[in-house]
Structure 1
Amino acid sequence: MNIALLTDTWHPFTNGVITHIEVLAEGLRSLGHQVLILASDPHTKHHYVDHEGVLHCPGFTLKRIYGYGIAFPFSFERLKILKAFNPDVIHIHNEFGMGTFGMLASRKLKLPMVYTLHTAYDDYLHYLAPKPFIPITKALSHGYVRLLANYSSITTGPSEKAAAYLKATKVTTPFYYIPNSVDLQRFDTNNIEPGIRQKIRHQYNIPDGHLTAIFVGRLGKEKSVETLLDLWKSSIQTNAPFCLMIVGDGPERDHLEQITMDAGIAHQIIFTGKIPYENMPQYYAAADVFVSASLTEMMSISLLEAQAMGLPVLQRLDQQSRNQVIDHVNGFVYSNAAEFEAHLKAFGQLSSLEWHDWQTRCRNHVARQGAEDLANHLLELYRQACGTK
């Protein structure tokens, strides 16, 4: 099949949508299919296809949303390039400019469209509008999602949260649960050079023997890193042999660093800033446990990457994502500071053999969530969609 994947977010940014598309494209190509990625690029004035098969589409920058780009919603040149690719199906991964273009191109070329919802936008409206305008912005965003989803042949999402969001926006198109995937070749402990773990730990002055928890993600309000720090402050003694490595950057970083200083826990908390994606396996290898307090994730790809690297997970209870972490299998779900403390301290007391067992279980838990697994899931839906148009 020839498959067009459309997105408004692309490199040099790093986020779950970009990673999902890259893993999907890798899986589709490895199975013998042709893929054209269409991505917005506010830094180009002309459409062009790069050496990785990505069509860069002119657009503009959204300063309120991390400087992401949004493509202009229609272009005859873009449509001409897409038509020459001769796609069998159009698969949109963002709403905005590329989502609108995908819908218009689908109609013009008489092609089926598949729509994956990656984000429950109600949790991100503060980036789009001042507080007094949140209600009307919410209504408008629901209407736009409903328009795209009800036009699509099929909708997909990586969690119950996606299904609930689409239901709340009164979408009637069939929904299919497709779990996110992870690049199992990149995130493989066998590819970590000896000494890397100690090198990174020494770089950040992590004492030998200290249990190191890691959070990876954008430092925005929606990620609840402040909640994670509050949990740490109220449950971990300041002289305990634990530290927390926070990998990522964002608008909340200065505020979060100030919290650690005011709470007297700055010596236990490490802010690494943004780390190049190709170096992320090394940072997971330097840690012992992945922790998160976020309730906005559909299915965190960093959570999957951590497990692929053998890290158990401590995840705050989220009823709509409760099947992603199974107690005693790939980690634990916690509801309060006491549970967070108990689980973290239990990990700190594990023997080498017990750690090995945990690492094996975590890797096995995501072993069927690789690139080809994702591609096969979606190929079945692509074929189904092609039968409906």
Structure 2
Amino acid sequence: MNIGIFSDVYFPQKNGVSTAVKLYKDEMEKLGHNVYLFIPKYSKNYKRNEKNVFEFPAIKFLFEKEQRIALPLSTDIFKIKDLNLDIIHSQDPFSMGIFAEFMSKLLKIKHVGTHHTMYEYYRNYLPLIIRPTLKQTQRMIRNWCLKLDKVISPTNNIKDLLVSYGVPDDHVIVIPTGIDTEKFNKEIIWNLRDEYNILPEEKVLLFVGRLGQEKNIDFLIKVFHKVFHEERNIRFVIIGDGIEKNKLEELVVDLDLHERVIFTGSQPRENVIDAYKQADLFIFASYTETQGLVVLESMAAGTPVVALGKMGVYDLLNHENAGGIMVKDLNEDIFVHEILKVLKDENLYNTLSKNAINFVKENYSIEVSVRKIIDVYKNVLEY
């Protein structure tokens, strides 16, 4: 099968959608399919060494420098027809998603899309003068979904949300974004403790993700401040970058935690996986996750999770024996209680760690997810 994947984000951008697209492409190619990726060009100086990737001129999004707005004005447009695509799979409704819709109609190719992101919670990145209302954003999402031949949702929770917006129930298929579990079995190369002088007896709490307001990292830092008063041999490692970094660093200084909290900045994926495996506990309080890939990745590494149970994360941790503890509300004291309980109870910790690995392998491997996506393609092509 010849598959065209259209996305507005891809590596070197580090986020859940970039990871998902890379995993889709690699696994589909392992199965013998030809996968062609259409993305914005990241920068003039960034040289990509990957086959079947078509880059289009792009400009930086004014209000979020890591994001790109593609301008599909390239001679590569004329090459698309020669690829004989069987299916188009778009990952968002923006510049490349619009281009995907155009090519789908022009070439009469079926068009599937995945709803990765809760765009409603990202409106604050736009200035008020051009910021859509909540209703307008929901209408945009609904209209995009209705133009697709089928919508893929990572969780049942997100499917229910799309249905509430007016998307027909049978138009949405739930397929979790999988994890490449084999990569979590490799030996550790990046020694996090050596690099940041973390003592052997010190516990490590970990957060991985973009440093944005919706991730509630300031809440996690305040939680860590309280944990530190109960458990002195502990550090908090924050991996990622974003517009909130300066504010978060200031908060760390204000709370006198500058020797306890480590900001590593963005890291290569291999380093991130090594960090999961060296951490003692992963903590997460985002309320915008359609699935929460970083939560799954931590569990794949055998590192238990204490996380806010909203949206996609709820669908993960609501399962019995999932390998994590779900906190229902943003309550600092409850978070602190659950973190300390896991760290101090060795039997509980070991049980959560074992359950986490098994839960991901059995339910969220990339092999299982991609085979389900290919089945969606086949079903769409039959109509």
Partner of 2:22: 22
CA–CA distance in 2 between the matches of 1:340 and 1:377?
36
CA–CA distance in 1 between the matches of 2:309 and 2:48?
43
Identical aligned residues as a percent = 25
TM-score normalised by the chain length of structure 1: 0.89
Q: Give the counterpart of 1:163 among 156, 159, 167.
A: 159
CA–CA distance in 1 between the matches of 2:256 and 2:379?
57
CA contact (8 A) 2:57 2:73 kept: no
CA offset at residue 161 of structure 1? 4.3
CA contact (8 A) 1:59 1:70 kept: yes
CA–CA distance in 2 between the matches of 1:18 and 1:364?
25
TM-score normalised by the chain length of structure 2: 0.90
Seen in structure 2, the aligned counterparts of structure 1 residues 152 and 286 have a Cα distance that, compared at 3 Å, is: same
Partner of 2:41: 41
One-letter identity of the residue aligned with 1:229:
I
One-letter identity of the residue aligned with 1:142:
Q
Secondary structure, aligned partner of 1:81 = helix
In the alignment, is residue 53 of structure 1 matched against residue 52 of structure 2?
yes
CA offset at residue 11 of structure 1? 2.2
User: How many positions carry a matched residue from both structures?
Assistant: 377
CA–CA distance in 2 between the matches of 1:213 and 1:34?
41
CA–CA distance in 2 between the matches of 1:350 and 1:2?
51
CA contact (8 A) 1:89 1:112 kept: yes
Q: Superposed, which structure 2 residues align to 1:2-151 within 5 Å?
A: 2-41=2-41, 43=43, 51-72=50-71, 74-75=72-73, 77-130=75-128, 133-134=130-131, 136-151=132-147
Structure 2: unaligned runs, 5 residues or longer? none
Partner of 1:290: 282
CA–CA distance in 2 between the matches of 1:276 and 1:349?
31
CA contact (8 A) 1:42 1:71 kept: no
Secondary structure, aligned partner of 1:338 = helix
CA–CA distance in 2 between the matches of 1:114 and 1:341?
42
CA contact (8 A) 1:44 1:57 kept: no
Seen in structure 2, the aligned counterparts of structure 1 residues 79 and 171 have a Cα distance that, compared at 3 Å, is: farther
One-letter identity of the residue aligned with 2:224:
W
Partner of 1:374: 369
**Structure with the greater relative contact order (CA < 8 A, sep ≥ 6): 1 or 2?**
1
Secondary structure, aligned partner of 2:334 = helix
Seen in structure 2, the aligned counterparts of structure 1 residues 257 and 143 have a Cα distance that, compared at 3 Å, is: same
Q: Give the counterpart of 1:154 among 150, 173, 183.
A: 150
CA contact (8 A) 2:57 2:74 kept: no
Partner of 1:343: 338
Q: Give the counterpart of 2:196 among 204, 221, 225.
A: 204
CA offset at residue 191 of structure 1? 2.6
Seen in structure 2, the aligned counterparts of structure 1 residues 315 and 385 have a Cα distance that, compared at 3 Å, is: same
Q: Superposed, which structure 2 residues align to 1:274-353 within 5 Å?
A: 274-318=266-310, 321-325=313-317, 326=319, 329-334=322-327, 335=329, 336-351=331-346
CA contact (8 A) 1:225 1:293 kept: yes
CA–CA distance in 2 between the matches of 1:18 and 1:31?
20
One-letter identity of the residue aligned with 1:97:
S
Deviations 1:138-187 (A, max 9, x none): 45443433332111110011124432442344333701111111122222
More off after superposition, 274-283 vs 338-347: 338-347
